[in-house]
Amino acid sequence: MNFNLSALAVRERSITLFLIIAITFAGAFAFMKLGRAEDPSFSIKVMTIVSAWPGATAQEMQDQVAEPLEKRMQELKWYDRSETFTRPGLAFTTLTLKDQIPAKELQEQFYQTRKKMADEAPNLPRGVLGPFVNDEYGDVTFALYALKAKGEPQRLLVRQAETLRQRLLHVPGVKKVQIIGEQPQKIFVEFSQARLATLGVSPRDLFAALNDRNLVTPAGAIETQGPQVQIRLDGAIDSLETIKETPIVVGGRTLKLGDIADVKRGYEDPATFLIRNGGEPAIVLGVVMKDRFNGLELGKTSRMKPRRSRARCRWA
């Protein structure tokens, strides 16, 4: 028995017309819901663990830091392999999970890794910094804002960046905003070896005085019939003038740190990295979009106009 689809379609015209209309509407609906993400989200099954131990050799980093951490990583359910690179004072470990791991269990494995690293940290040698875990490889920057102001101190530019960051976080579709290019502020104590030798002061005396001054220690509390009154020793350094007033006791004499050394505020030198926009120093705001959000809508709503200020904000 031969089946003729064309003859059936001509004979049952109403059903054929209904199917054509239904298929047309279904296609239009599917097209409107079609994914159009320029940077689609995907699961990255890799994380890094960094540990630092100033003064240690590469072999000590391998034997006393990296190896104990790798043994704890092997306890993970979806553990695949770990690769460690060591150099004097630093261990960099890359943890890779199995490709078969379900996406819904990935974050749980990352959490378990962080927990195991935190549990192992007290067992590491004294002086080890970390381990520091990073598992945010899946974040893709949707937009970049370059913030710059000629002649403006960077600390004021950072304040403007924080203000813009808070405004961007209230924009629908923004997952997080990262400030890139900020240089950490430092306080520098510069002194002359010849001048210290003339006064009979050694650099060790300066370091010891600063360490003894910058202490935050509990001093107890007073029990009253009302609230408990906390007692605090005022020894913490909270300003540049406090550092200059630090006493240096040498040979029965008391000198001020500001009299024998130059104390000034500055930025990290040398800088870890610098960002320039149009040849001028700048700070960049990196906007990360939420998963499955319409990038076209976020692009329209995030084009903000900065308020009156000396800083200029430019869409990059």
Domain assignment present for 196: yes
Q: Determine which helix (DSSP H) or strand (DSSP E) holds 265, and give its type and residue range.
A: strand 262-267
Average pLDDT over residues 128-135: 90
pLDDT of the residue at 306: 46
Looking at the chain, the whole-number percentage of residues with pLDDT higher than 90 is 28
Q: Are 58 and 104 members of one domain?
A: yes
Report the distance separating Cα 264 and Cα 272, nearest Å: 20
pLDDT of the residue at 214: 64
Q: With bands split at pLDDT 50, 70 and 90, how would you rate the model's confidence at 309?
A: very low
Domain assignment present for 171: yes
For residue range 79-112, list pLDDT tens digits in order. Answer: 999 999 999 999 999 999 999 998 888 889 999 9
Point out the domain boundary residue: 118, 134, 150: 134
Lookup result for tokens 């990262």? 178
Domain assignment present for 108: yes
Report the distance separating Cα 225 and Cα 263, nearest Å: 46
Strand order in the sheet with 90-97: 79-87, 90-97, 46-52, 129-134
For residue range 188-219, list pLDDT tens digits in order. Answer: 888 888 887 777 888 888 887 777 776 666 66
Tokens of 244: 């200059």
Helical segments of the chain, H only: 5-11, 13-32, 58-60, 67-73, 106-120, 154-169, 193-199, 203-213, 240-244, 257-260, 295-301
Q: Are 177 and 308 members of one domain?
A: yes
Report the distance separating Cα 266 and Cα 258, nearest Å: 16
- Report residue 179: phi and psi, to 5°: -95, 120
Cis status, amide bond into 88, omega within 30 of 0: no
Average pLDDT over residues 238-255: 78
Average pLDDT over residues 45-58: 92
CATH code at 236? 3.30.2090.10
Point out the domain boundary residue: 99, 117, 134: 134
**Which of 136, 45, 31 has its CA nearest to residue 96?**
45
Domain assignment present for 95: yes
pLDDT of the residue at 219: 61
Q: Are 51 and 129 members of one domain?
A: yes
Angle at 200 between CA 199 and CA 206, to 5 degrees: 90
Q: Are 52 and 178 members of one domain?
A: no
Point out the domain boundary residue: 134, 166, 199: 134
Q: Are 255 and 199 members of one domain?
A: yes
For CA atoms 158, 163, 167, 170, give the dihedral sign.
positive
Q: What is the DSSP letter of 308?
A: S
CATH code at 61? 3.30.70.1430
Average pLDDT over residues 170-197: 85
Q: With bands split at pLDDT 50, 70 and 90, how would you rate the model's confidence at 231?
A: low
Domain assignment present for 2: no
CATH code at 282? 3.30.70.1320
Domain assignment present for 32: no
Q: Are 180 and 279 members of one domain?
A: yes
Q: What is the CA radius of gyration of the chain?
A: 31
Q: How many domains does the chain have?
A: 3
- At position 101, the amino acid (one-letter code) is I
Q: How many CB atoms lie within 10 A of CB 69?
A: 24
Q: Are 178 and 191 members of one domain?
A: no
Q: Are 167 and 289 members of one domain?
A: yes
Q: The domain containing residue 211 runs over which residues?
A: 187-217+229-266
Give 309 or 117, the one with higher predicted confidence.
Answer: 117
Domain assignment present for 24: no
Query: Does the pLDDT of residue 316 top 60, yes or no?
Result: no
Q: Are 64 and 206 members of one domain?
A: no
For CA atoms 255, 256, 262, 267, give the dihedral sign.
positive
pTM score of the predicted model: 0.61
| Beta strands at 129-134 and 46-52: parallel, antiparallel or unpaired | antiparallel
Decide if 95 contacts 84 (C-beta within 8 A).
Answer: no
Q: Are 177 and 191 members of one domain?
A: no
Q: Are 252 and 128 members of one domain?
A: no
Domain assignment present for 128: yes
Q: Are 77 and 210 members of one domain?
A: no
Q: How many CB atoms lie within 10 A of CB 280?
A: 13
